[in-house]
Amino acid sequence: MCVDRCVCHDVRFSTLLAMHRKTGAGFDELSAQTKCGTGCGMCRDYIRLAIKTGRDRLPVMHPDTLRRELGRGE
């Protein structure tokens, strides 16, 4: 099982990464353009990690692990 999209708005990370590579858009800009992350919010840190790593498929992670991966550890 992996995380590869914002389920609430059916926006794939591959689409977001392509937009990021083309325009340099960060999470806030991508969210404004696609609505990703504006539903339940569960995908937000996954999207940030996808942008940071360039990976469009991520393993399911505990929120603390996600924060650590983003350099926002406890």
Using CB under 6 A, list all residues that contact ligand FES: 6-8, 36-43
Q: Which is nearer to ligand FES, 16 or 74 (CB)?
A: 16
DSSP assignment letter at 7:
T
Provide, rounded to whole angstroms, the least separation between the CB of residue 53 and ligand FES: 18
Complex with ligand FES: residue 14 or 38, whichever CB lies closer: 38
Q: What's the closest the beta carbon of residue 30 comes to ligand FES, in angstroms?
A: 11
Instruction: Give Dmax over CA atoms of the chain in angstroms.
Output: 33
In 3D, which of 28, 29, 26 has the Cα closest to residue 51? 26
CA gap 55, 7 in Å, rounded? 17
